[in-house]
Amino acid sequence: MLCVMQTHLQDYLDTEEKYGMSEEGFKVGKIVSAKETLEVLARLQEPDEYSSRLLDAVAARYPKYKHLITKHSTGTTYSGDFVAQGDGWVGCESGKDPREGYFEFIDDRFELAESPNQIETERLLSQLRDYRAERDAAYRQAEVGCEADFEKLHLLFKEHLYTWWD
């Protein structure tokens, strides 16, 4: 549907710019509204771009956190965000009952261990909390941006749709 609308609007825009016979002010308004709609449609064409752009900005401010799959001592598998420290990892598991702190692989299991540098572990955990909060905020902002574009598209269609098909 979006591709059809983009193709039609691009054809309409090309024709209007070359051969439009409307009064200059009206013609410019039609062209501007069509271009704006094409921009919104292009953004909606790639919905992951809303979050990707924002998440890339968050990731650039933090070290490269690794996403690991961990197995809890109860046999339950969890995942989480971790960053390397010494021979282990500092991070927080995801899931219902997450563990947080310094982890090492002990007998093929990912277990909490004594940190070689507790001050550094606390600093990294604090940074990880900030990273997760900013990442969550980026997801929320992406959702808001996408919803705003849908609302904008609705308003543009409501106001200009019949003009584009005259």
Q: What is the pLDDT of residues 116-165, one digit of tens each?
A: 999 999 999 999 899 889 989 999 999 999 999 999 999 999 998 887 76
pTM of the model: 0.71
Q: Is residue 83 domain-shared with residue 131, that is, in the same domain?
A: yes
- Residues near 33 by Cβ (< 8 Å), separated by ≥ 6? 156, 159, 160, 163
Structural domain including 97 reads 56-141
- In this structure, are 28 and 95 located in the same domain? no
Residues in the chain: 166
**What is the rounded distance in angstroms from the CA atom of residue 149 to the CA atom of residue 146?**
5
What is the tally of structural domains in the chain? 2
| Same domain as 134, residue 93 | yes
Residues 76 and 112 in one domain: yes
Average pLDDT of the chain? Answer: 86
